[in-house]
Amino acid sequence: MQFSLDHTDGIARATTLKLPHGTLETPMFMPVGTQGTVKAMTPKQLEEIGAQIILGNTYHLFLRPGADIIAKASGLHRFSGWTRPILTDSGGYQVYSLAKLRKLNDTGVIFQSHIDGSTVEFTPEKVVEFQELLGVDIMMQLDECPPATAGIAQIKTAVDRSLLWAERSRSAWSRQDSSLFGIVQGGLHEDLRRESAAGLIALDLPGYALGGFSVGEDMQLSYPIIAASAAMLPENKPRYLMGIGFPEDIVRAVSFGLDMFDCVLPTRCARTGLCFFSEGRLRIKNSCYRDDMRPIDPGCECYTCKTFSRAYLRHLFIAKEISACVLMTIHNLHYYLELCRNMRAAIMADRFQEFHDNFFASLKTD
């Protein structure tokens, strides 16, 4: 991976990452393709809306279809038909989300498969080995992601264990065309975040992520810690905020100096009829859109907004037509991607603060 810091405007950054399967420009949003596909989207549709990279999940892909199938296809790119870069999460989030189905210690994590109940062991070494087999551009270390309700002793243990696993992941990392990122943990405790970041920086990894946010805490409490944690990371490496979130969260995070983002929100919300647009968000099922012939967002250039009305999309959604999910997913992802493109343009033009202020001034909901 080749990284360049293209421009700064205050703390906000515009950067470039050159990877084996393409070049990425930040700030950027990564659509989530947990199972090797972004729900309701084809690779061609993702390319048409300007997606630079997608995210897959090591845990889910390991269980299904399995390492043997993906290896037979010569890696995840060939298997999925996506030719641009791929980042895979390590399964660390499942340590949090599947807490009732796992046991963990310093060796690794033992999961009870949510699919068939079988036992699966994840160690830092196995996770790196599998991600290298996938042939992805960016792979994440296995980490322990504690919930927001965890006590400080549990969070401290997670920090220590995640650092131990980062060291083992680095030792296991052998495929230099797959860049290994470390994950900073520490909950809402700035001292633990600093300890975690310092330990990871000492490993001199290609990039760093902030994990352990959006796990049940009040986001208003998270913002100061996210900002402080971002400042702890090297300026000459990519900075990735994992699992965040709403558009306003991403705009704030860019103002904190973060580069990369992912979240299931735009695709999940599309399937429930919640659409993001320049003034906030709207629920397409609301009766006020029954005869509304405007597009979701009159200023949007996506296929959905250039072609269909709110009334038609509401009709499809109420009728439970699959195309409703497809068309609103196209729009929501386009909105997120365009938001990041616009932020980059604002940073490059030294007017990010103006963009930030105008963005929040325009927000309202139906």
Rounded Cα distance between 64 and 278, Å, is 38
Contact 19, 137 (CB under 8 A): yes
Helices (H), 135-290: 152-172, 190-201, 219-232, 247-255, 265-271
Mapped onto helix, strand or coil, the DSSP state of residue 15 is strand
Q: Within 10 Å of residue 264's Cβ, how many Cβ atoms?
A: 15
Q: Per the residue annotation, which of 9, 137, 262, 297 is the catalytic one?
A: 262
Rounded Cα distance between 87 and 109, Å, is 21
In order of 11, 15, 78, 142, 181, the CA distances from 198 in angstroms are 20, 22, 37, 18, 14
Active site residue 137: no
Residue the block writes with tokens 């992912």: 262
Active site residue 249: no
In order of 77, 167, 190, 231, 289, the CA distances from 202 in angstroms are 32, 10, 18, 16, 55
Q: Per the residue annotation, which of 9, 89, 259, 297 is the catalytic one?
A: 89
Ramachandran bin of 296, using left for φ above 0, alpha for ψ from -120 to 50, beta for the remaining angles: alpha
Question: Could you list the active site residues?
Answer: 89, 262
